[in-house]
Amino acid sequence: MPNNPRLVFFGPPGAGKGTQAERLTETYGVPHISSGDILRDGSRSGTELGNEIASYIDNGRLVPDELICRIIFEEIAKPACQRGFVLDGFPRSVEQAEALDEILAGRGFRLQGAIELELSEAEITDRLTARRWCEDCGAVFNLKFDPPEMRGCKRGRPISECDIVQRADDTAGTVQTRLKVYRETAGPIIDYYARDGRLYPIVTNGQSPEEVFRQLQNTLGEMGVVPVQ
Ligand SMILES: [Zn+2]
């Protein structure tokens, strides 16, 4: 019997976490649960929980740990996650990682591992400062390896009519800060998974998205996880 993928995903900004998580979920037929997306969508849903989330986001406050845990645990209890999931943006603390292990154990499951995409600081800066996005449709491009003119806007119109800009977040100075924040938050959680041999680092320096994905597939193969037919 092949194993079901139950994974958490880590990686510094610019390492291609979103892209790889997306490909992984397509190939292995499991949902990609991004805490950022859930909070964004949830805050617009108009449900009781949604309004609770919105009350924090709209006031520029951090959504508390307890609420994030509740949302994520509700999500992974859904039938769609029965055969596994890929979590992205959660856990954000060792406490949350422990809580996740406990919840899963209570259902007879185990989190197989944490995938960490590794990327050198020089390449992070290089990649992020070349990043551009369309203000209108939200498509993200990279001047170096994924230029806008190669695939165009999500709305299917010529790229010349799009508003392609650089986000304030993607300038060299802010990249340093984001990297520091990433190391401080993710570091202890990554150590937590490393301690019992559940950390799977993937080196992404100088690698194309395809090469990174091949490494990922090999790693999942070692865990006994196989792609859906
Ligand atoms: Zn666009």
Q: Give me the count of residues in the chain.
A: 229
Kindly give the distance from the C-alpha atom of residue 164 to the centroid of ligand 1, in angstroms, as a whole number. 8
Residue 153 has pLDDT above 80, yes or no: no
Residue numbers of the domain that contains 83:
6-119+181-222
- Which runs of E-coded beta strand occur in the chain? 6-10, 32-34, 85-88, 113-118, 131-134, 140-142, 164-165, 199-203
Residue listed under structure tokens 């300038």: 171
Taking the C-alpha atoms of residue 215 and residue 160, their distance in angstroms, rounded to an integer, is 36
Q: Which residues contact 198 (CB under 8 A, 6 or more apart)?
A: 111, 112, 113, 114
What's the pLDDT tens digit per position in 160-197?
Answer: 888 889 988 888 888 889 899 999 999 999 999 999 99
What's the pLDDT tens digit per position in 86-128?
Answer: 999 999 999 999 999 999 999 999 999 999 999 999 999 988 8
Predicted local distance difference test score (pLDDT) of residue 130: 92
Taking the C-alpha atoms of residue 85 and residue 169, their distance in angstroms, rounded to an integer, is 29
What's the pLDDT tens digit per position in 42-60?
Answer: 888 888 888 888 888 888 8
Total domain count, the chain: 1
Residue 157 lies in a domain: no
CATH number of domain containing 92: 3.40.50.300
Residue 195 lies in a domain: yes
- List C-alpha distances in Å: 52 to 9, 43, 57, 193: 26, 8, 9, 31
Residue 172 lies in a domain: no
Kindly give the distance from the C-alpha atom of residue 34 to the centroid of ligand 1, in angstroms, as a whole number. 22
Predicted local distance difference test score (pLDDT) of residue 50: 86
Widest CA span of the chain, in angstroms? 53
Residue 130 lies in a domain: no
Least confident stretch, 28-42, 84-98, 200-214: 28-42
Tokens at residue 89, please?
């943006």
Residue 54 lies in a domain: yes
Predicted local distance difference test score (pLDDT) of residue 157: 76
Kindly give the distance from the C-alpha atom of residue 60 to the centroid of ligand 1, in angstroms, as a whole number. 27
CB 26 within 8 A of CB 139: no
Beta bridge partners of 52: none
Residue 126 lies in a domain: no
Q: Which residue of the set 70, 78, 110, 167 is catalytic?
A: 167
Instruction: Output DSSP code: residue 159.
Output: G
Instruction: Specify the pTM.
Output: 0.83
Kindly give the distance from the C-alpha atom of residue 198 to the centroid of ligand 1, in angstroms, as a whole number. 39
Predicted local distance difference test score (pLDDT) of residue 39: 86
Kindly give the distance from the C-alpha atom of residue 25 to the centroid of ligand 1, in angstroms, as a whole number. 25
Residue 85 lies in a domain: yes
- Per-residue confidence band for 12, with pLDDT thresholds at 50, 70 and 90: very high
Residue 204 lies in a domain: yes
Q: Is residue 131 among the annotated active site residues?
A: yes
Q: Is residue 167 among the annotated active site residues?
A: yes
